[in-house]
Amino acid sequence: MHKLSFIGLGSVGLCTAVCFASKGYKVIASEMDRAKANQIRRGNPPFYEPRLKELLTKAMKTGNLRITSNNEEAILQSDITFITVGTPSKRDGSISLSYVMHASKEVGKALKKKDGRTPHVVVVKSTVTPGTTQDILMPIIETASGKKCCKDFMLCANPEFLREGNAIKGTLNPDYVVIGGCDQGSADTLRDLYREFYSDNLPPIIETNIPTAELIKYANNAFLATKVSFINTIANICEKTPGTDVKKIAEAIGKDHRINPYFLDAGLGWGGSCFPKDLKALISFSKRLGYTPELIQAAWKANADQVKFAVQKARKELGPLKGKNVSVLGLAFKPDTDDIREARSTELIKILLKEGAAITAYDPMATPNTRRIFKRKIHYASSAIECLKNADCAIIVTEWEEFKKLGPEDFTRNMRKPILIDGRRIYDSGKFSKKLRYVAVGLGEPATLISPS
């Protein structure tokens, strides 16, 4: 079995390292941030992922996983190194390569000291725009190591498609694996590793060259984000068309296997640490090549507008928002996480504050992170019911299970004016509209014609 090392223990690095260790591989994983490394070593992941703590604890106990802050040690004690550091956005939308360049230099420096019979395999898992691995990282490794790529060491691009909250399951059961090799030998070695890792559960493996592999990652995320922006666009048309409901439309078109039912939930738009960063990077990358990707720009704009439309809905119901009590239910960019990076909630709150609304917010997990941004500019409730007290309007921003359990009476009893804007379509419109003013994304006003529900 190959010995593996990981450089960078964010969500992708740690989850993948732990999954390999859980299947018996000897893994040595390096994290520069010593406090974070210590925390992981003690079996405490620095972020929440279902099953991660359990698998991490087991992997540490069996000794299959070792954590270090010494990149060289990790690289020298392995024969395949995965680079899994972050590539955050820069101001102009392009990605910052500083971490991935540093990691490549570290790999090169370590490889200089390594004289194995079989060439070391370097795998770039970090999300990077096409050309980065071959044109920037490969020369860095070659210079630092004094060795030649495809001869003395191998190089692959192997992007990941993990969703937050689904990272372990996604690593163990991916839809597909992409391998871009600098040559056939590099690709073969990585393919054999995955064949062994997945054994009877082998997903389709797409083999290609490095830049195509890099672009697949962006295409995947851009497609999904565009799909959500598309259904949100249909939702907006529904709102202007009496009697129509985007949920039925999504249910219907999702039956067409060419479309499929996933990522067709209309709402206040997409956020998180990936879609926004990757779309910005893809747009900036294309523009630098002299091509403006209008479709992806439109998906971006549609997403930015979606939050503004929610504010318009509130204004339509309440008139000017100055002095009105608005409760915001849900702050995380999606349920089951405390992550508020690029969350729609923060955009919404910023606009509401500008309009002078008094905001009370509640989220089962993401309140501490939100407090760091808005501090005392808004109020924080410790339950959904407390959040609704005396509100003139409530907006559902994240579709937490906890909110789905609320009934119309929870709103009518606690709010000053029971106006509910369901930004994630979590309630039964028939039931709720009878008891309170229920305005929902993608739901047209009732039609005058009598029709089956």
Residue closest to ligand UGA when measured from CB atoms:
274
Judged by beta carbon, residue 250 or residue 391, the one nearer ligand UGA is: 250
26-30 vs 3-7, strand pairing mode: parallel
Dist CA 403 CA 103 (whole Å): 43
Out of 6, 218, 270, 285, the only residue in the binding site for ligand UGA (CB under 6 A) is 270
Judged by beta carbon, residue 95 or residue 415, the one nearer ligand UGA is: 95
Out of 123, 124, 162, 443, the only residue in the binding site for ligand UGA (CB under 6 A) is 162
Should residue 97 be labelled a site residue for ligand UGA when binding is judged by CB under 6 A? Answer: no
Judged by beta carbon, residue 142 or residue 399, the one nearer ligand UGA is: 399
Task: List the structure tokens of 376.
Answer: 């005392």
Should residue 265 be labelled a site residue for ligand UGA when binding is judged by CB under 6 A? Answer: yes
Restricted to residues 304-343, the positions that interact with ligand UGA (CB under 6 A) are: 333-334
Should residue 264 be labelled a site residue for ligand UGA when binding is judged by CB under 6 A? Answer: yes
Should residue 230 be labelled a site residue for ligand UGA when binding is judged by CB under 6 A? Answer: no
Dist CA 434 CA 135 (whole Å): 62
Judged by beta carbon, residue 60 or residue 178, the one nearer ligand UGA is: 178
Judged by beta carbon, residue 306 or residue 325, the one nearer ligand UGA is: 306
Should residue 163 be labelled a site residue for ligand UGA when binding is judged by CB under 6 A? Answer: yes
Cβ atoms of 172 and 20 closer than 8 Å: no
Using the rule CB under 6 A, give the single segment among 59-67, 236-244, 257-265, 314-322 that binds ligand UGA: 257-265
Angle between helices 275-288 and 210-239 (to 10 degrees): 110
Judged by beta carbon, residue 153 or residue 275, the one nearer ligand UGA is: 275
Judged by beta carbon, residue 5 or residue 221, the one nearer ligand UGA is: 221
Q: From the CB of 382, what's the least distance to ligand UGA, in Å?
A: 24
Out of 228, 279, 328, 348, the only residue in the binding site for ligand UGA (CB under 6 A) is 228
Should residue 221 be labelled a site residue for ligand UGA when binding is judged by CB under 6 A? Answer: yes
Catalytic residue among 15, 182, 238, 274: 274
| Residue showing tokens 């000053």 | 416
Judged by beta carbon, residue 8 or residue 272, the one nearer ligand UGA is: 272
H, E, C per residue of the chain: CCEEEEECCCHHHHHHHHHHHHCCCEEEEECCCHHHHHHHHCCCCCCCCCCHHHHHHHHHHHCCEEEECCHHHHHHCCCEEEECCCCCECCCCCECCHHHHHHHHHHHHHHHHCCCCCCEEEEECCCCCCCHHHHHHHHHHHHHHCCCECCCEEEEECCCCCCCCCHHHHHHCCCCEEEEECCHHHHHHHHHHHHHHHHHHCCCEEEECHHHHHHHHHHHHHHHHHHHHHHHHHHHHHHCCCCCEHHHHHHHHCCCCCCCCCCCCCCCCCCCCCHHHHHHHHHHHHHHCCCCCHHHHHHHHHHHHHHHHHHHHHHHHHCCCCCCEEEEECCCCCCCCCCCCCCHHHHHHHHHHHCCCEEEEECCCCHHHHHHHHHHHCEECCCHHHHHCCCCEEEECCCCHHHHCCCHHHHHHHCCCCEEEECCCCCCHHHHHHHCEEEECCECCCCCCCCCC
Q: From the CB of 403, what's the least distance to ligand UGA, in Å?
A: 14
Using the rule CB under 6 A, give the single segment among 174-182, 259-267, 321-329, 408-416 that binds ligand UGA: 259-267
Using the rule CB under 6 A, give the single segment among 186-194, 267-275, 354-362, 376-384 that binds ligand UGA: 267-275
Should residue 442 be labelled a site residue for ligand UGA when binding is judged by CB under 6 A? Answer: no
Q: Please give the torsion angle defined by the CA atoms of residues 203, 207, 212 and 216, in that order, rounded to the nearest 10 degrees.
A: 0
Q: Specify whether 150 is catalytic.
A: no
Out of 271, 330, 364, 418, the only residue in the binding site for ligand UGA (CB under 6 A) is 271
For ligand UGA, what does the binding mask look like between residues 339 and 378, x meaning CB under 6 A? Answer: ----------------------------------------
Using the rule CB under 6 A, give the single segment among 20-28, 38-46, 144-152, 262-270 that binds ligand UGA: 262-270
Q: From the CB of 278, what's the least distance to ligand UGA, in Å?
A: 6
Q: From the CB of 196, what's the least distance to ligand UGA, in Å?
A: 23
Interacting residue ranges for ligand UGA, rule: CB under 6 A: 160-164, 221, 224, 228, 263-265, 267, 270-272, 274-275, 278, 333-334
Residues classed as catalytic: 274
